[in-house]
Homo-oligomer: A and B are copies of this chain.
Amino acid sequence: MTLPETLTLGQYQLAYNIFSFTIAAMLGSFVFFVLSRQNLAPRYRGAMVLSALVVGIAGYHYLRIFTNWADLYAISGGTATLVEGAFFNDAYRYVDWALTVPLLVAELVNVLGLPKKQSGWLTFRLAFAALAMVILGYPGEVAATITGRLVWGTLSTIPFVYIVYVLFSELGDAIDRQPGEAKVLVRNTRLLLLATWGFYPIVYLLPVFGIGSDAFVGVQVGYAIADVLAKCGYGFVIYNIARVKTEALAETGTTLPEAVPAAGD
């Protein structure tokens, strides 16, 4: 989409502060996932490494997006004016998503604790569909016309629908096999994933409604909030599932409760 020539100071500062908040949320979550993985049984620590990767990579990209935004407009007399020759690099987001979205689906599969062969094939199909979704979305994001945005957006929806289908059909059985409290948590995680991922297409469509600079600022703010929920929030939920399953393992004595005394990291 074309950049608005001017923004109000309020619009400019809203996106500015949301970007800064997002950096703090991503880096804070990174520290949490790295330090807290040792509370978990070894088999679930991989999910926390994936969570840390996701928010670490996103934190890096939001540092870039923040700097890009700070240099994009010049403030004078209560108005933000587009700097001559400056451009906004939507690719930061899409490179971020191409790297992190496959990791997010791998996290969910990891925490389900399926047999290795089954989980490998499932991760591959979901990660591939997630990557296709992101790659097909990008040409629409940078398209000059609304038609381009709609065509690529529609193509991107196909792998999205496939992911939802797999999560709600094939994963149903695996979820029913989860122990006690974990079953409810995994069900909720599937809904959280659907709700947060469903938020992106709505943000993507904002420019279609022709609301000018509000749409542009809305896209920035909307993607940032969706990213915090889908990456940090999702990671915390996965952590909780892994913690509940670690406790269940310790109680039933299915494995040594390695996580509890294994303090040495």
- For the complex, what is the distance from the CA of A175 to the CA of B45, rounded to whole Å? 31
- The residue among A34, A36, A87, A263 with the most chain B CB atoms within 10 A of its own CB is A263
- A45 partner residues in chain B, CB cutoff 8 A: 39
On whether the beta carbons of A85 and B76 are closer than 8 Å, the reply is yes
On whether the beta carbons of B42 and A263 are closer than 8 Å, the reply is yes
- A261 touches B (CB below 8 Å): yes
- A145 touches B (CB below 8 Å): no
Q: A residues engaging B (CB < 8 A)? A: 9, 13, 16-17, 20-21, 23-25, 27-28, 31-32, 34-39, 42, 45-46, 49, 52-53, 56-57, 60-61, 64, 74-77, 84-87, 89, 91-92, 95-96, 99, 256, 258-265
CB < 8 Å neighbour of A17 from B91, B259, B264: B91
Contacts A258-B263, A263-B262; is A20 near B76 (CB within 8 Å)? no
- For the complex, what is the distance from the CA of A262 to the CA of B265, rounded to whole Å? 9
Contacts A27-B60, A56-B27; is A35 near B32 (CB within 8 Å)? no
CB < 8 Å neighbour of A53 from B17, B32, B57: B32
- A91 partner residues in chain B, CB cutoff 8 A: 13, 17, 20
Contacts A74-B85, A261-B256, A264-B264; is A35 near B52 (CB within 8 Å)? yes
The 10 A-B residue pairs with the shortest CB-CB distance, nearest first, are A264-B264, A262-B263, A17-B91, A75-B85, A35-B49, A262-B264, A265-B265, A76-B85, A258-B261, A21-B95
23 A-B contacts, Cβ less than 8 Å apart?
A13-B89, A16-B89, A17-B92, A20-B64, A20-B91, A21-B95, A24-B60, A24-B96, A27-B56, A28-B53, A28-B57, A31-B34, A31-B49, A31-B52, A35-B37, A35-B52, A38-B264, A38-B265, A39-B46, A42-B261, A75-B85, A75-B87, A265-B265
